[in-house]
Amino acid sequence: MSGQVKDSVQNKTEEENVKYPILQIKGLFQARYLLGMTKNVDVNGLHHEDGSGTDNNFMLKYMRVQVRAQISKRTEVVVLANLADFKNDPKSRVLENAYLKYTFNPKLAITVGQFRPLFGIEETYPIDIIKSLDWSNQYTEFGKLGWTSFQIGMAATGQLELGEIPFQYAVSVVNGNGKNQVNDNDNGKQYSTRLVFGLSKKYNFNVGLNGGIGEVLGKKVYALGVDFSSLINFDSKWSLDMQLEGKQATNHVLYNSITPEQRLSNPDDYLIRGVYFLPNLRYEINHRNLSAFELSCRYEYLDTNFRVSSNPRQTVTPMFGLEFLKNYGARIQLGVQFDRYKKQIANTSQYNNNLFIVQVQSRF
């Protein structure tokens, strides 16, 4: 018994001797070469009837630096900036994460500032461990709508047990008009929640339910989503990671871009709907110079206005990746992105195209 008391006192003393703040610095470099393989379509997917446009490009995608400061046992402050965005207008781009998080216990943590509100699988991991070329098309569109990507607001998150089922939750309220904004653009806010149920420990099978309501420029908006994820380890070397996600929401950005005289009165007449499936097969090599290789192929379906003027986009992105350092410390990816539209529209980005990609990255 005396030994147990000693250990307890020793652990408490060690905690008291921790000196704050504890700083952690991380970074990500990611660059790519793009080659357009469709005549008169540039590397950004824009069709040029006159034959202009750039069909090949070296591109610096990310040069991220993250500083995490643990300022007490329960409090941390995180700052994340993408220095590569200085090539654009940096006013509303460079700063990505900037938040304070206070953790009461595993069941409750409060986050305040600029962060990524949890609304789907893709919010749960950073770009540097993504299994495909980039975020899904639906993630990008829902970011424009204020439900995903970097937003300003506050959130409550936590994890607990429902009987024998692991359960995670997130509740967020955000301005909904993107990152690095001086003010909200109206008096409305967007409220969202995410619930995740761990249904199988053996197959790492999780089901996520996402929902949101809000008000944008005096109009009610909503968003819904469901997702499934699983990680199957066949043996010590082979594994299969699978993600399936679908979402639907009011496309209030499209609604507000149309003049009042020309648009329908109800914003819910303008709806966006998307789904994607991403399987990723991984083989652990653990050679001195090569850690693993991966094969993935993401299928996406996205229609940004399926009720009024439907023109769905289907995207298939097969990728092959070589990992040279563990945990994606260094890797090279090769792939092709195939985009197909139901109706092609000249001189717009709604045009069929094929894009070849070589991407290199290092995280530190």
Mean pLDDT of 178-188: 91
Q: How far apart are CA 211 and CA 361, in angstroms?
A: 34
Mean pLDDT of 145-150: 96
CA dihedral 253, 259, 262, 265 (to 10 degrees): 60
When pLDDT is cut at 50, 70 and 90, the band that residue 11 belongs to is: low
Q: How far apart are CA 326 and CA 340, in angstroms?
A: 35
Mean pLDDT of 33-55: 95
Sign (positive or negative) of CA dihedral 125, 128, 131, 132:
positive
Q: Judge whether residue 5 has pLDDT over 60.
A: no
Q: Judge whether residue 2 has pLDDT over 50.
A: no
Longest dimension (CA), the chain: 85
User: Taking the CA of residue 300 as centre, how many other CA atoms within 13 Å lie in the half-sphere pointing to its CB?
Assistant: 27
Q: What is the DSSP letter of 326?
A: G
pLDDT digits (tens, 9 = 90+) for 225-242: 999 999 999 999 999 999
263 neighbors 274 (Cβ within 8 angstroms): no
Mean pLDDT of 341-360: 97
Least confidently predicted of 30-44, 174-188, 268-282: 174-188
Burial class (CB in 10 A: 0-12, 13-18, 19+), 154: middle
When pLDDT is cut at 50, 70 and 90, the band that residue 3 belongs to is: very low
pLDDT at position 87 is 84
When pLDDT is cut at 50, 70 and 90, the band that residue 327 belongs to is: confident
Q: How far apart are CA 126 and CA 56, in angstroms?
A: 27
When pLDDT is cut at 50, 70 and 90, the band that residue 141 belongs to is: very high
**DSSP per residue, 16-85:** HT--SPEEEEEEEEEEEEEEE-STTB-TTS-B-TTS-S-SEEEEEEEEEEEEEEE-SSSEEEEEEEEGGG
53 neighbors 60 (Cβ within 8 angstroms): no
pLDDT at position 1 is 41
Q: Judge whether residue 207 has pLDDT over 70.
A: yes
Q: What is the DSSP letter of 66?
A: E
Mean pLDDT of 54-80: 96
Q: How far apart are CA 185 and CA 173, in angstroms?
A: 15
pLDDT at position 346 is 96
Q: How far apart are CA 171 and CA 110, in angstroms?
A: 10
Looking at the chain, the whole-number percentage of residues with pLDDT higher than 90 is 85
Mean pLDDT of 72-94: 91
Which runs of consecutive H residues, i.e. helices, occur in 216-296?
Answer: 252-257
pLDDT at position 13 is 54
Mean pLDDT for all residues in the chain: 93
In this structure, which amino acid lies at residue 3? Answer: G
Closest of 247, 85, 103 to residue 179, by C-alpha: 85
Looking at the chain, the whole-number percentage of residues with pLDDT higher than 70 is 96
Please give the span between the terminal C-alpha atoms of the chain, in angstroms, as a whole number: 45
pLDDT digits (tens, 9 = 90+) for 277-288: 999 999 999 888
Mean pLDDT of 244-272: 96
* Both tokens assigned to 311: 């023109």
User: Taking the CA of residue 326 as centre, how many other CA atoms within 13 Å lie in the half-sphere pointing to its CB?
Assistant: 5
Q: Judge whether residue 14 has pLDDT over 60.
A: no
Q: How far apart are CA 272 and CA 141, in angstroms?
A: 9
Mean pLDDT of 219-223: 97
Mean pLDDT of 262-283: 96
pLDDT at position 88 is 81
pLDDT at position 128 is 84
Enumerate residues 6+ apart whose C-beta is below 8 A from 125. Answer: none
In this structure, which amino acid lies at residue 218? Answer: G
Closest of 298, 326, 339, 358 to residue 129, by C-alpha: 326
Enumerate residues 6+ apart whose C-beta is below 8 A from 132. Answer: 278, 280, 296, 298, 317, 319, 335
